[in-house]
Structure 1
Amino acid sequence: MYLIVIFGIKYIMRNREPFSLLIPLSIWNFLMAGFSIIVLLNVFPELVSKIINHGYVNSFCYRYESHKGESGYWIWMFMVSRLFEFIDTIFIVLRKRPLIFLHCYYLLRSLKIRIPAKVPIILTSIQITQFVAAFYGSILVFYVLYWQKIKCEIDTTVLHISVCTNLSFLFLYINYFVQTHILRGGKKKLQFLSKFIAKEEIKIE
């Protein structure tokens, strides 16, 4: 259904001028960012408390009532909010921007703010670190389940999907980082160096 809607809108927009949508897109991104911060502030303290009191493995293997009460509410809200993030792609299609997988600093770009060269590098590095940590956590649970044979209150199907998803995003972000900040950056430096050498040769002549 999602793909039908996205490619349907893209087909309709093929001969139309792109929408600006600067204000609604900015408001939407700020709302989503604000919501994520609120969820983090409500869930993170309990997660840290569980790790301190029960250990890393137990905190992920057993629920300890985390699915109930205020923490459970915010976890549920966060899961529901993931569905609304598909709206980001609708904005991209309506603005006739390239439909790519990664939009690391999409919020700042949507506001047309000039971004220092180091900012996207830092943000992409943070994203890569996030997926490495998530992948490591999933592998640790795999080790506990299949190597140590400890029973966990975890749906193994969800765990498998989580590992595949995190691994795929990790490769995508690493590829994006290499293509954008290493290969492309290297070409720019080489071009700059070539121009500099050419200017110096002209001066010598």
Structure 2
Amino acid sequence: MRHVNGTHVELALAEFGFERRFDELGARRWMQDNWSKSFVFSALYAALVFGGQRYMRPRPRMNLRRPLVLWSLSLAVFSIIGAIRTGSYMLHILSSGGFRRSICDQSFYNGPVSKFWAYAFVLSKAPELGDTAFIVLRKQKLLFLHWYHHITVLLYSWFSYKDMVAGGGWFMTMNYAVHALMYSYYAARAAGLRVPRPLAVLITSAQIAQMAMGLTVTGLVYRWLQHGDCPSRIDNVTWAALMYLSYLLLFSRFFYQTYVRRHKCE
């Protein structure tokens, strides 16, 4: 057992050396100074995506199966480990402090286990933009949902981390968990494995549930913000609410068009 803030932490929460040595204060200072660079990344991303589509229009599609397997598998492993580490910390907070504390307590950003994975999550939103390169180079259909989601998650994550806003533990842990499923599915598909159709339905359903829960957490942050014990800002809550509501509508529309309407037409 270890003692953190006077509470007993199970062995699952024992820190690895790199987690213990991670300088979350330095990470936060860096993000405070550089978070606006996420706009530069987003602009470059948009230019490369739509410029890339124009470039590929008269050219044959690329295969890229092996690079896609490696890319998806690496992100799957990263997300699985992130989900386990952040999930164990969130379960500890829930069991020791309750639901309200799991939303409002800022310890997720500096906790012995979660602090590294919180920062790793935020930074990962930049390289994850690389997902779209495979769509463009393989000349697949690029959905508005795909590139809109990538840009807005990057912007909001970097904007929020610098202020250690309430709700971050839920947002990051849910995203890690869903991405663990999603990228594992992508890796299996890219490797040529036959993946049962219900798994794709499950992943989209999990994404919809994630957005609904994200909207719920945002609403509770706003409610408890008024009481002074849920650290956030009105502008952050507003952006989070708009972001999660738009995701909920877009993913629900995708679910209907892909699994409901298409099934009716078969």
Matched with 2:217 is 137
Q: Against the structure 1 CA distance between its residues 155 and 30, is the aligned structure 2 distance closer, same or farther, given a 3 Å change threshold? A: farther
Q: Do structure 1's residue 180 and structure 2's residue 225 form an aligned pair?
A: no
1:154 alignment partner, one of 232, 235, 256: 232
- Rounded to whole Å, the distance in 2 between the matches of 1:43 and 1:152 is 20
Aligned to 2:200: 120
Q: How far apart, CA to CA, are the structure 2 residues paired with 1:14 and 1:35?
A: 33
Q: CA offset at residue 102 of structure 1?
A: 5.0
CA distance in 1, matches of 2:108, 2:261: 48
Alpha-carbon distance in 2 for matches of 1:155, 1:145: 8
Residue number in structure 2 paired with 1:37: 80
Which 5+ residue runs of structure 2 have no aligned equivalent?
1-43, 148-181
State which of 85, 90, 105 in structure 2 corresponds to 1:62.
105
Is the 8 Å Cα contact of residues 204 and 251 (structure 2) preserved in structure 1? yes
Aligned to 2:95: 52
Q: Which runs of 4+ in 1 moved over 4 A?
A: 102-105
- Corresponding residue for 1:197? none
> Would you say the 8 A contact 2:108–2:118 is kept in 1?
no
Task: Tell me the percent identity.
Answer: 29
Aligned mates of 2:234, 2:112 — CA distance in 1: 25
> Aligned AA for 1:60?
I
Shift in CA distance, 65/95, structure 1 to aligned 2, threshold 3 Å: closer
Aligned match of 1:88: 131
Q: Which residue of 2 aligns with 1:166?
A: 244
Compute the displacement of 1:28 (Å): 0.4
Please report how far the alpha carbon of residue 40 of structure 1 lies from its aligned counterpart in structure 2 after TM superposition.
Answer: 1.3
SS state of the match for residue 86, structure 1?
Answer: helix
Q: For 2:108 and 2:200, locate their aligned partners in 1 and report how far apart those are by CA, in whole Å.
A: 39
Q: Distance in 2 between matches of 1:118 and 1:89?
A: 24
Hey, what's the Cα distance between the residues in 1 that align with 2:189 and 2:196? 11
- Give me the TM-score of the superposition, normalised by structure 1: 0.81
Q: Deviations over 1:119-142 (max 9, x none)?
A: 222222122112212221111112
Is 1:74 matched up with 2:74? no
Contact 2:62-2:138 at 8 Å conserved across structures = yes
Paired amino acid for 2:65: L
Whose radius of gyration is greater, 1 or 2? 1
- For residues 88 and 243 of structure 2, what CA distance do their matches in structure 1 show? 26
Moved more, 6-15 or 58-67: 58-67
